[in-house]
Amino acid sequence: MARSTGKDAQALFHSLRSAYAATPTTLKIIDLYVGFAVFTALIQVVYMAIVGSFPFNSFLSGVLSCVGTAVLAVCLRIQVNKDNKEFKDLPPERAFADFVLCNLVLHLVIMNFLG
C-alpha cells in the first residue's frame, strides 16, 4: 500500500509539473511575483517572532505591503487569464491599469503608516 501511494504521489507531481509548463509565460511571471511577495512577508513574520513587535505599526505596514500587492497580483492573473470565461470581455489593458492604480494607492498608504 505504501509503495502504491508513493507511486501515486509521484505520478500526481509529474502531471502537475507538465500541466503547469503549459501555462503562458505572462501568467508564470505573475506567479513568480506573488511568490516573491509571500516570501518577503514570511521573512518579516519570522523576524517579529524573534525580536518582538515593538514598532508594531512598522510591522503591519511591511507585512501589509507584501500581502496587499500579492492579492492585487492574483486579481490581475484572474482577469488576464484567457481561459477564464468570466472575464472574457474584459480587455487585459484595463485589468493592468486597475492593478497599477490600486498598487499606487496601496504603497502611498504603506509609506504613511511605516512611521
Partner 1 sequence: MAKLLLYLTLATSLIPLFSVAFSPENPTDRRVLVLVDDFAIKSSHSLYFGSLTSRGFQLEFKLADDPNIGLQRYGQYLYDALVLFCPSVERFGGSIDVASIVDFVDSGHDLIVAADSNASDLIREVATECGVDFDEDPAAMVIDHINYAVSNFDGDHTLIASDDFIKADVILGSKKIEAPVLFQGIGHSLNPANSLVLKVLSASSSAYSANPKSKLSNPPSLTGSAISLVSVVQARNNARILITGSLSMFSNRHEKSGNEQFLTEISKWVFHERGHLKAVNVRHHKVGESDEPAIYRINDDLEYSVEIYEWSGTSWEPYVSDDVQVQFYMMSPYVLKTLSTDQKGHYSAEFKVPDVYGVFQFKVEYQRLGYTSLSLSKQIPVRPYRHNEYERFLPAAYPYYGSAFSMMAGFFIFTIVHLYSK
The residue ranges that bind partner 1 (CB under 8 A) are: 25-26, 29-30, 33, 36-37, 40-41, 43-44, 47, 51, 54-55, 58-59, 61-63, 65-66, 69, 73, 96, 100, 103, 107, 110-111, 114-115
* Nearer to partner 1 among residue 26 and residue 74 (C-beta): 26
CB within 8 A of 57, min separation 6: which ones?
A: 113, 114, 115
Closest contact distance (angstroms) between CB of 7 and partner 1 is 38
Q: Note whether 47 and 8 are within 8 A (CB).
A: no
Cell of 15: 502531471
* Nearer to partner 1 among residue 6 and residue 55 (C-beta): 55
Q: Note whether 70 and 38 are within 8 A (CB).
A: yes
* Gap between the Cα atoms of 35 and 52, Å rounded: 25
Closest contact distance (angstroms) between CB of 66 and partner 1 is 6
Q: Note whether 50 and 75 are within 8 A (CB).
A: no
* Nearer to partner 1 among residue 7 and residue 107 (C-beta): 107
Q: Note whether 17 and 32 are within 8 A (CB).
A: no
* Nearer to partner 1 among residue 44 and residue 74 (C-beta): 44
